[in-house]
Amino acid sequence: MSGIETYDLIVVGGGPIGLSTAWHAARRGRMRVLVLDQYGFLHERSGSSGNERHWRVQYTQKDIFSLTLQTRSLWRDLEHLTGRKLIHEIGSLWFGDTEVATNEGHIAGTALAMDEMSVPYEWLAGKEIEKRYGFTNLPKHFEGFLQRDGGVIDVRGTLTALFHLSQEHGALLRGNEAVHEVTPDHDGVTVRTERTTYRAAKVVLGNGAHVNDLITPWGSGKLDIHLYEMALVTLRQRNDSVERPFWFAFQQPTEEDTNLFYGFPSNPWSVSDEVRLGPDFEVGALDHASQATYRPNPRHVERVTGWVRDHMPWIDPQPVATSTCLAVLPGDPARQFYLGTAEQLVPGGENIVVCASGWAFKLIPLFGKICAELALDGATSCDIDRHGLTGLISSTSPAAPPRAESVR
């Protein structure tokens, strides 16, 4: 093993989880930190493509709710350090059928959780939502809430900030270097890439949709995650003077799909007449991330434009651009994320931390901190019990079947 590069921490994956972990580790000082990405940094072939993500504090599960509240101050630190606003509190509007349970949560249950957590919100009847925000033809029973601290996250701004900060603190970032194998033992971890072999005291797997490629060879199963290539649809708004929040429509599923839609108004950080909508459809699961085509399913784009025609008269239903993003969702919707050490999975697994799946962008500064703590201190004070690396499935299990039921 002499002559090989050695590090205190190697992070596999240079997306937001990987970069945030590298930043939190490197800022401790005297840490040799290496981040490896198969493509590069700030690319669009991952789970972080697109320009914006929904920022919300509310969750149906109170332990995750607490995590988002803890994340707020870390976002402020990041904004302060980078001199750029990353979270824009334009509000988070959830409306629809309040009883539909989705992977995002549940309107009625989340309202109860907000009551218990003393987080303010405004309950709105469907008619009030139509009057205030211009939606039309909403089913009569629709209602929901506006949570004003929610809004939109500047994705590119966040990635750029983490890219620079991690390097300023001394982390080394290497693109175009895929990791092929991660083999732990009780003294550390051997990391084999397409170019060379490294040795590290600790490794964090932040490689998103590809995480099972590195876990399966350990022989104890794979994470129960499903991969969906979800459409992103950019449209143009007609004259608009109303201030609009991020919105998410909770609806009963159709036979065809999960029937969930969401949308962002024009971005506060790059004002234009363009808005982005997406279908949140868990259908057509991929067997492997390499099957991603980066072309949206035309039927899903059509479903979005149909929703616009029916309910959003201030938007021109003709798309101006479309793209995709690779969603990595847990088979068990209650867990939301996999976050923990691999000590139960493989000898030496205490030297490996895994962070994957779920709607995690809002938690990026906190999850990076937790990964660094688990790797470098062996523990975190945050409550992440729900997300530990349990509930693996056999590595020979078939891919997830397309699902169209509502409880996801």
Ligand X SMILES: Cc1cc2nc3c(=O)[nH]c(=O)nc-3n(C[C@H](O)[C@H](O)[C@H](O)COP(=O)(O)OP(=O)(O)OC[C@H]3O[C@@H](n4cnc5c(N)ncnc54)[C@H](O)[C@@H]3O)c2cc1C
105, 206, 296, 368: which one binds ligand X (CB under 6 A) = 206
Binding span for ligand X by CB under 6 A among 115-123, 131-139, 204-212, 378-386: 204-212
Contact track, ligand X, 216-255, x by CB under 6 A: --------------x-------------------------
Look up 262 and say whether it is catalytic. Answer: yes
Look up 269 and say whether it is catalytic. Answer: no
Residue with smaller CB distance to ligand X, 230 or 312: 230
Least distance between ligand X and beta carbon 91 (Å): 14
Residue whose entry in the numeric block shows the structure tokens 């669009």: 44
Decide if 37 contacts 225 (C-beta within 8 A).
Answer: no
Binding span for ligand X by CB under 6 A among 85-93, 120-128, 142-150, 201-209: 201-209
Least distance between ligand X and beta carbon 141 (Å): 25
Residue with smaller CB distance to ligand X, 137 or 176: 176
188 binds ligand X (CB under 6 A): no
- Residue 402 per-residue DSSP state: P
36 binds ligand X (CB under 6 A): yes
DSSP state letters, 301-363: HHHHHHHHHHH-TTEEEEEEEEEEEEEEEESSTTT--EEEE-TTTSTTGGGEEEEE-SS-GGG
d(CA 215, CA 186): 17
Nearest CA among 148, 37, 27, 151 for reference residue 78: 27
Residue with smaller CB distance to ligand X, 16 or 184: 16
Output the six-digit token pair for 325.
């993003």
Residue with smaller CB distance to ligand X, 57 or 315: 57
Could you give the C-alpha distances from 248 to 1, 89, 211, 245, in angstroms and in order?
A: 53, 15, 29, 10
What's the Rg (C-alpha) of the chain? 21
Least distance between ligand X and beta carbon 337 (Å): 8
Residue nearest to ligand X (CB): 15
327 binds ligand X (CB under 6 A): yes
Look up 359 and say whether it is catalytic. Answer: yes
Residue with smaller CB distance to ligand X, 31 or 182: 182
37 binds ligand X (CB under 6 A): yes
* Phi, psi of 35, deg, nearest 5: -115, 130
Least distance between ligand X and beta carbon 67 (Å): 11
The catalytically annotated residue of 59, 218, 359, 369 is 359
For residue 90, the cross-strand partners are none
Nearest CA among 105, 65, 36, 50 for reference residue 325: 50
Look up 355 and say whether it is catalytic. Answer: no
If phi > 0 it is left, if psi is from -120 to 50 it is alpha, else beta; for residue 286 that is beta
53 binds ligand X (CB under 6 A): yes
Please state, as a whole number, how many other Cβ atoms lie within 10 Å of the Cβ of residue 27. Answer: 18
Look up 244 and say whether it is catalytic. Answer: no
Reported residue count of the chain is 408
263 binds ligand X (CB under 6 A): no
* Phi, psi of 122, deg, nearest 5: -115, 125
Q: Is 268 exposed, middle or buried (0-12, 13-18, 19+ CB in 10 A)?
A: middle
Least distance between ligand X and beta carbon 127 (Å): 27
190, 207, 251, 336: which one binds ligand X (CB under 6 A) = 207
151 binds ligand X (CB under 6 A): no
Binding site for ligand X (CB under 6 A): 12-18, 36-39, 46-48, 53-54, 178-179, 206-210, 213, 230, 278, 325-327, 358-362
- Active site amino acids: 56, 104, 262, 280, 325, 359, 362
